Structure 1
Amino acid sequence: MRKVEAIDLFCGIGGLTCGLQQVDIKVIAGLDNDKSCQYSYEKNNNVDFICKDVTKYDFREMKDMYSKDSIKVLVGCAPCQTFSSHTFKVRNREDDIRWNMIDHFLRGIKEIKPDIISMENVRGITKTEIFFKFVEQVKKLGYKISYEVVNFADYGVPQNRNRLVFLASKLGEIFIPIKTHSKKNRVTIKGIIKKLPKIKSGEVYKNDKTHTSRNLSKLNIQRIKQSNPGGTWQDWDNELLLNCYKKESGQTYSTVYGRMSWDKVSPTITTQFSSYGSGRFGHPEQDRAISIREGALLQTFPMDYDFGKEIRIVEVSRHIGNAVPPKMGKNIGICILRHLEEVEYGKK
């Protein structure tokens, strides 16, 4: 088989790159306009980070990066916030600069003409006209495509993370990755972060600066002490409630101020996971939000993944929450290699 080379668009800190390289798919470059991602991307993956605005990028430069006879793979996760469930009621969301990033992914496809394409995004994108047009354009370019919204928990990622996985190939029929887990054997929170050293809110563990959590106020300490695993603010005494939760309309806010459960998968690790009040991000038994390292592990980053010389909690939380879990990247890589083997076998 010819060597397989990939380029990662909208690469962030390198979750997808990390996963692909775990199955020996050589990633030759990553592109992103967020300079703050460069250190982690290059340090952990030993791949060049191109800090450019994709809307102005000349993909002819990228086309020349691939080896002459390689199997060319183009992967990416275009910014997805405008397609998330939280923004579907937002007016004029089409005016958001991130709305048409998928068009620039398509522009890259047209210029590079990769053999294989992989894209990950939030499930909400599948309800948009811009996605349907993207699919039709890719088909017209001669690709066989496959896509589905899947729960990454079914692929060994210890969290409920429903995302679109899109694959396309010029070489033949291609299918989304085969599930590796079911509800009976999913990887739980306990199996990933239980053994990490105990820390208090606001503390930085001496041997790992990434194992740090946000400081909680005295009031929030009282609140999390009354939060049961799997529970939320509904566990609290009345005097601890926010005023909005005392109203009938506030009863619907059931996904905030929650505590995780050891024997379950985590909720989706968002860019706000370090904030106790922004979701079900309370540690299962310690009175704090999960640490940056714990969030990274639940996103399946390796234990030694380096997130910077200085840990800025808000920034690194955003980097981790926006990433494609490396474990899912690995599953996509396995799927691509299996497809190439089938194509090669079919020629014999």
Structure 2
Amino acid sequence: MPNDSATYGEVVDLFCGIGALSHGLMRAGFNIVAGYDTDTRCRHAFEKNNHARFYVRDVADLTAREVSAHFTGNGYSVLAGCAPCQPFSSYKHRYKEEDPKWSLVGEFGQLATEIQSDFVTMENVPSLVNYKEGKIFSELYETLEKAGYRIECSIVKCEQFGIPQRRRRLVLVASKHSRPESLKPQSKEAATVRQAIGHLKPIEAGMSDPDDSLHVSASLTDINLSRIRESTQGGTWRDWPVEMRARCHRRESGMTYSGVYGRMSWDKPSPTMTTQCFRFGSGRFGHPDQDRAISLREAAILQSFPDSYEFLPQGEQYRFAEIGKWIGNAVPVRLAEEIGNLIAGVGTNHSQSMLSDE
């Protein structure tokens, strides 16, 4: 199911999930030819929105021959991926040191060296650089470098790329041609929550928009409904009367943690979308002026998914935990598009230099 309108080359997306990285690269002009993931439930979203085939496979079991078979030689070849980031995140204390997921970064690097695609790109959390004293990332970098890749790696602030969200990400782009430049911020003023979701219909907690089943918000308990009514834009649980506060926030040890039970501000970027972004009590995920948590559609838009992005087949019941996980783990589509533009620029310059040498 290729996207024949693409002009720059072909992409195979490992750890593709619902296809956010692929979608951004497609918008930049690339043809997505395949995506691999172990979550079978991601198939519909990936295939529907990216016009490519979804394969249920563990990256650790893939061979270079299998992946390389997707590249037809129609433009530059790109191997893309975002290994599961939980073992490297700031919440890594929740996971055991022997968590095997870290090895997927090494598997990705080894596949890249065997496939020898024109470009390799990876997006992840910034703390991957320091995970296990920097060993995992250093080994990936050295593996690619020894394979002849020229590498650019940077930590970017998503709000500087037109994304209405405060989010820091590690972006690696490796090229068999000239070394890529670093990603350059696209805007001095960050996009705001109002600009992103202000056009959506008002809904109540626990209700949905009849015209968009993804524009649905989680129900609130009576106490949380009372709490959010006491919350101000950009505020926290400190806005509430003491008797409304959770017990942990009444204790001295809980007084310093203000990152939960908050409302977003209309005229600022949102906080980082997490897998729990639909829950009022799990972050600053309260709607700026409606008495509810943000909807799944609003969370997706704040991750720069298009309004029309389809996550499940029409009529299928949404599960908040499932969709929230997909959205929170996704690469912001707009950032993926900028990565694609960067790769396309390197490819175009290389093609032009080859022509001038003839």
Give me the TM-score of the superposition, normalised by structure 2.
0.93
Alignment partners' CA distance in 1, 2:278 and 2:352: 47
C-alpha distance 130-223 of structure 1, shift in aligned 2 (>3 A): same
Structure 2 residue matching 1:209: 3-state secondary structure: strand
Q: 1:1-80 maps to which residues of 2 (within 5 A)?
A: 3-68=8-73, 70-80=75-85
Corresponding position of 2:254: 250
2-side partners of 1:3 and 1:273: how far apart? 35
* Aligned residue number for residue 284 of structure 2: 280
Of 341, 346, 352, 1:334 maps to 341
**Structure 2 residue runs without a partner (length 5+):** 1-5
3-state SS of the aligned residue for 1:119? strand
Superposed CA RMSD in Å reads 1.4
Q: Which moved more, 1:232-241 or 1:1-10?
A: 1-10
Q: Is the 8 A contact 1:150 1:165 kept in 2?
A: yes
Deviation by residue 1:124-178 (Cα, 9 ceiling, x = unmatched): 0011311111111111111111101111111111101100010110111112322
Which secondary structure state, in structure 1, belongs to the residue aligned with residue 255 of structure 2? helix
Name the aligned partner's letter for residue 172 of structure 2: F
User: Aligned to 1:162, which of 168, 187, 197?
Assistant: 168
User: Would the aligned equivalents of 1:166 and 1:176 in 2 still touch at CA under 8 Å?
Assistant: no
Give the aligned partner of residue 3 of structure 2. none
Render the CA deviation track for 1:25-59: whole Å, top value 9, x for unaligned.
11100111111111111111111011111112223
Q: Deviations over 1:84-138 (max 9, x none)?
A: 0111x45742x11211110110121022111111110001001131111111111
Q: 1:174 aligns with which of 170, 175, 180?
A: 180
Cα pair 1:165 1:176 within 8 Å, conserved: no
Q: How many residues align?
A: 344
2:114 is aligned to 111
Q: Distance in 1 between matches of 2:334 and 2:353?
A: 29
Deviation string, structure 1 residues 258-281 (Cα, Å, up to 9, x no partner): 100000000011110001000000
Residues 75-90 of structure 1 correspond to what in structure 2 (within 5 A)?
Answer: 75-87=80-92, 89-90=93-94
**Residues 283 and 2 from structure 1, CA distance in 2 versus in 1: closer, same or farther, beyond 3 angstroms?**
closer
Report what 1:151 is aligned to.
157
Q: Is the 1:32–1:54 Cα contact (8 Å) retained in structure 2?
A: yes
C-alpha distance in 2, partners of 1:68/1:121? 28
Residue pair 2:7, 2:30 contacting (<8 A) in 1 also: no
The one-letter code sitting in structure 2 at the alignment partner of 1:217 is: T
Which string of whole-angstrom CA distances, capped at 9 and with x for unpartnered residues, describes residues 249-308 of structure 1?
101211000100000000011110001000000000000000000001111111111111
CA 1:149–1:3: 2 relative to 1, 3 Å: closer
**1:267/1:280 contact within 8 Å kept:** yes
Q: 1:70 Cα deviation (Å)? A: 3.5
Stretches of structure 1 lacking an aligned partner (at least 5 in a row): none
| 1:163–1:258 distance in 2 versus 1, CA, 3 Å | same
Residues 7 and 29 in structure 2, CA contact (< 8 A), matched pair in contact too: no
2:148 maps to 1:142: yes
Asked whether the 8 Å contact 1:2–1:71 carries over to 2, the reply is no
Matched with 2:213 is 209
Q: CA deviation at 1:342?
A: 1.9
Alpha-carbon distance change, 90 to 291 in structure 1, aligned in 2, over 3 angstroms: closer
Moved more, 322-331 or 173-182: 173-182
Q: Distance between the aligned counterparts of 2:220 and 2:94, measured in 1?
A: 31
Distance of 1:307 and 1:2 partners within structure 2? 26
- Counterpart secondary structure, 2:142: helix
**Match of residue 263 from structure 2:** 259
State the identity %: 41
Native 8 Å contact 1:167 1:175 kept in 2: no
Whether contact under 8 Å (2:217, 2:278) holds in the other structure is yes
C-alpha displacement of 1:227: 0.9
Which of 96, 104, 128 is matched with 1:125 structurally? 128
CA contact (8 A) 2:7 2:31 kept: no
Structure 1 runs (4+) greater than 6 angstroms displaced: none
Distance 1:344 1:70, change over 3 A: closer
Cα offset for 1:69?
Answer: 5.5
The separation in 1 between residues aligned to 2:180 and 2:83, in whole angstroms, is 21
Amino acid at match of 2:262: G
Amino acid of the residue matched to residue 208 of structure 1?
D
Amino acid at match of 1:102: V
